[in-house]
A and B are shown apart, each in its own frame.
Chain A
């Protein structure tokens, strides 16, 4: 049943308007609908992941139109893994939003949340570049609403910056798509892979520009330095559950880079020679360094977590820009880890916020619910900083191991290891101020009155931490899976033939070209 591929997009697209139209005054019904929608999404995502686990590529032609003309959805190992990761993350974030009462502090949280999921799922599943743009816009417009959820001046200001930056990114994306279409006459990814390879050596000017523009767009999404300026303010000011869900949004950029630059512009293509090792790798290394220095320099806990997200995206991009099967496998392993760890840390920052006057890293009385929150924070920090025994350490080892054959191996090792040290210092400093030294400050009446976080909040954060632990315990299996995934990514012929050879309306090309 290939129709199942469309379900991760259709289901949230139906649940969201239903919530708005039928349940807008009943937060209880909204919660039930939203959670059951996400649970169904997880079930479907599990089914899709099992279906594609042996390398099967499933195709869904919208309206039965054949591939280069119609829009297709394609589910391969990479897409289904990202879909499953999104669905699982969404469940825990949603539980936290319900437990902490964030969803009651403004209108339409659940509807926007479902639209956001629809956009993310669509971006992972689509096989068409223009459709990717449309789904980017769907997830962005939902994220604008979520970003300013519950209002407040600081949040609105950060929201304006976030929206403006992303609008410029979208415009750039359209410029890139226009150039690609002008050069090749198609926007279907599989069709593009064939046509870009056929472009003669003298006629590559336009397609080179397009390739760089497209990389810039995805780098904005992935918050690669120097295009990361939108991230710290917006992630720090966004409501905690929203920031936690945004942890997957930077990975959408990483996913798009992996997809487009393994299939359409593979590393051995002359057109894009030098793009990865000359530009992307140094930028990724700088992101890693800037992110981790930001962790050490941050004066507030939410900014600290936002910078750690930049740093971990830098790590992902280092692995991606090496563009070998081994490094892509390492990057995919690290993407799962970094999503879970980043989301957990944003939620933990909110746990701290609940029991404290503010998030400034200054001496204040102990956080309400101190011991449990502290334990969660240190587990999350260990994961994010990449200390053993959690998956961050294993992911980092895999990246370092994959870097052996690179020319810049010394740089990669030095920056990865020293930035890890800096981030450990940053997290240790924050943790000791928040939880340890706080015992030396006398509690006042006001702080005693602050409530402890809800039990459901702890359950959802604990669930994310448990997933991280599972990601560590089953690292062998997961890495084995990502290795076969990377192998398939570097041999895209089955993907291309699945998409282009499937029969449908207009399957017989009547004209040679456009």
Chain B
């Protein structure tokens, strides 16, 4: 199970990073979504992987699953969901406004291309 989960995180992160480095807004947003999936699974596994173990202390049980990472994941999921919605709306507004969905500043629209910005 460790191998499966670890490679799932790895593949999601790799795919996410590749998409984040793309030129246009839509693949970048997809990439960020993949990255957030990866980080959610990663957070989930930070409490160690156990199956069928109760998260609450009770008598006669020796193996527990850690409930805290699950709470953390819930928070992270809600936040990343909201953030993705926001970035989709802003990206859509920018695309509809300028008819161009490049993520980086374009030389022709950005004449004041000063040092260090991209």
Contact = CB atoms under 8 A, between A and B. Distances in A.
Give the contact-size bracket for chain B.
35 or more
Q: Which of B20, B48, B86 has the most CB of A within 10 A?
A: B86
B82 interface: yes
B32 A232 contact: no
Given A175-B42, A300-B112, A233 B75 contact: no
Interface string B24-51: 0100110010011001001101111000
Interface in A162-176: 163-164, 167-168, 170-171, 174-175
B79 interface: yes
A179 B91 CA distance: 31
Contacts of B76: 174
Given A160-B25, A228-B116, A144 B94 contact: no
A71 to B, nearest CB: 11
A178 B25 contact: no
Nearest to B32: A167
Interface in B49-86: 57, 66, 68-69, 72, 75-76, 79-80, 82-84, 86
Contacts of A153: 94, 97-98
A204 interface: no
Contacts, number: 129
Interface stretch (A27-35, A58-66, A289-297, A378-386): A289-297
A130 interface: yes
B115 interface: yes
Contacts of A511: 57
9 contacts: A130-B72, A151-B93, A156-B94, A177-B43, A179-B46, A294-B115, A298-B114, A300-B112, A303-B117
User: Is the contact region of chain B dominated by helix, strand, or loop, or is it mixed?
Assistant: helix
Binding site secondary structure of chain A: helix
A195 interface: no
B42 to A, nearest CB: 5
A134 interface: yes
Given A167-B87, A178-B42, A297-B115, 16 more contacts: A137-B83, A157-B105, A160-B94, A161-B103, A164-B20, A168-B20, A171-B39, A174-B42, A181-B68, A181-B72, A182-B47, A290-B116, A297-B114, A299-B114, A300-B112, A303-B112
A171 B35 contact: yes
B83 A141 contact: yes
A220 B27 CA distance: 22
A154 B111 CA distance: 12
B61 to A, nearest CB: 12
B103 A130 contact: no
Interface string A169-204: 011001101110110010000000000000000000
